[in-house]
Structure 1
């Protein structure tokens, strides 16, 4: 490996860690604010500030060029999925520890693997199916169906993870679209859908809360940009495993801000979910290399 490649990988890892840290701060801030304000307000104000940040790039690129797309219905479905996913997360995290909800959301790669067979007609070998099964055992442990747990928030978090995974599938379907187009559409969607629901659940924020609500949009966009840059600088196999640092940050914030200690079931279930997700990612990277070389062992 050359010195330049080593430097790029280190910078890519740093950006992935920074991006996931910002996303975790964003999620913790959302948990703090949703205790006092409705989810619709979080969506609307978050997206309003996000659009304000995006506006210079949209104007520079050209409004028509950013929003004029060939597959508008697919874009709109993705917008709805992404917005509902965010709403589910904020609603669930109001009732559950941050680490619990984020651990459930970490099952998204497992769900994507399963959904890709149906929607993308991809072939999934028995190793990855076994990893999906093990990962969902971890989800069941986190949900703790035989013990004391909050049924509705846990199921809403799982629904959100499924919708998030579905949104990733639609993002794959729109891989020809530019990143600015995808981000602009999803931010505008959050503004429209959150704003439409505001009259049903209005809660006037003070100036500080209004700024904190806006900070949700800024940190989300900054985190997204850092992760995109990370993937541009370094191979996915190098930086993607570092996304799970968000679980550690969530546990730390739960403990420091809300005084919630991580439970054994979260540790065990989270280990199964993360381990399965990493195995699937490793397997997909290996299959890409084998396909490039003209061989494949996924069926073995």
Structure 2
């Protein structure tokens, strides 16, 4: 029996996930110059185990909830997610924030299209309007930054890395929606974390550093924020369709930019002011869509 759609709960969880994910990205950005990529992924994954195990225990699903009838699907989701994590962290370290966020926002568009094609979900006029407005806001917000620099071969390679992360993230999110029909949300997130840890450990021969003090605290924070964020995101896809949640990816992108303004002291561009209404309007239109009533007399 599948969980009925409860879009308001799903949207709220998705917004919470975006806020927590922003905390993770701030921690990752702060240590990216001093800590190797594989080590960052390892700490983010290892300390994400703490909230995930607590979540499973609270739901009385540990260890019983780890059982699965779809190991191959878990393997695909974990593999896509782990690769996306590596590519995303690498892009954040190499591109400026505006560019990295813009390219990352291709993921919900790809996810919405894939959900229609692979999961037979509806792509309604409301959702299309929300996606168009949200993506338009992203373009308005980052266009000046994108036009301010030239693009050499190295720069194109960095952009390609961010695009790869968006594609892999879309595939991982589609697998999350599919797995949520039969699998425990905690188990979905836990298997992803374990796959990321294994992938990170494979980079140990490339050279790690001994973190200490503030750097260690940021690495631990990245894991805790990431663990709670993935719990919220996984639960969101349990209560709402992927295409319904896709516009709220654009609301989630506001938090990292606000964090940059407050923490990294970046100036507030005029384009940001014009972009905020577009992004928020897109989310509001998507949320205003009426849910299709559940048929009576079915089990």
TM-score band by shorter chain is 0.7 to 0.9
Does 1:155 pair with 2:155? Answer: no
Unaligned runs of 5+ in 2: 1-7
Distance 1:124 1:255, change over 3 A: closer
Structure 2 match to 1:49? 47
Contact 2:133 2:278 in 1 (8 A): yes
Aligned equivalents of 1:264, 1:23: Cα separation in 2: 25
Cα deviation for residue 120 of structure 1 reads: 2.0
Does 1:199 pair with 2:197? Answer: no
Aligned equivalents of 1:270, 1:66: Cα separation in 2: 41
Contact 1:109 1:277 in 2 (8 A): no
Structure 2 match to 1:172? 177
Unaligned runs of 5+ in 1: 1-8, 294-300
Cα deviation for residue 114 of structure 1 reads: 1.2
My pick for the range that moved more, 169-178 or 192-201, is 192-201
Does 1:215 pair with 2:214? Answer: no
Aligned equivalents of 1:74, 1:49: Cα separation in 2: 24
Structure 2 match to 1:186? 192
Aligned equivalents of 1:103, 1:271: Cα separation in 2: 17
My pick for the range that moved more, 134-143 or 21-30, is 134-143
Cα deviation for residue 290 of structure 1 reads: 6.6
Aligned equivalents of 2:226, 2:166: Cα separation in 1: 17
SS at match of 2:208: coil
Does 1:68 pair with 2:67? Answer: yes
Contact 1:117 1:124 in 2 (8 A): yes
Give the counterpart of 1:289 among 281, 289, 292. Answer: 292
Structure 2 match to 1:6? none
TM-score by length of 1: 0.72
Taking only aligned residues, the RMSD between alpha carbons, in angstroms, comes to 4.2
Contact 1:110 1:277 in 2 (8 A): no
Does 1:260 pair with 2:266? Answer: yes
Distance 1:155 1:271, change over 3 A: farther
Contact 1:103 1:266 in 2 (8 A): no
Cα deviation for residue 221 of structure 1 reads: 2.1
Distance 1:241 1:118, change over 3 A: closer
Aligned equivalents of 1:183, 1:106: Cα separation in 2: 21
Distance 1:151 1:260, change over 3 A: farther
My pick for the range that moved more, 262-271 or 98-107, is 262-271
Distance 1:92 1:270, change over 3 A: farther
Cα deviation for residue 48 of structure 1 reads: 1.4
Contact 1:135 1:273 in 2 (8 A): yes
Distance 1:188 1:116, change over 3 A: same
Equivalent residues in 2 for 1:91-102 (5 A)? 91-102=90-101
Cα deviation for residue 271 of structure 1 reads: 6.5
- Which one has the bigger helix percentage? 1
Structure 1 match to 2:23? 25
Aligned equivalents of 2:198, 2:43: Cα separation in 1: 11
Cα deviation for residue 250 of structure 1 reads: 2.1
Distance 1:242 1:77, change over 3 A: closer
Aligned length: 279
Contact 1:51 1:184 in 2 (8 A): yes
Aligned equivalents of 1:75, 1:249: Cα separation in 2: 30
SS at match of 1:289: coil
Aligned equivalents of 2:238, 2:191: Cα separation in 1: 22
Cα deviation for residue 213 of structure 1 reads: 1.0
Cα deviation for residue 23 of structure 1 reads: 1.9
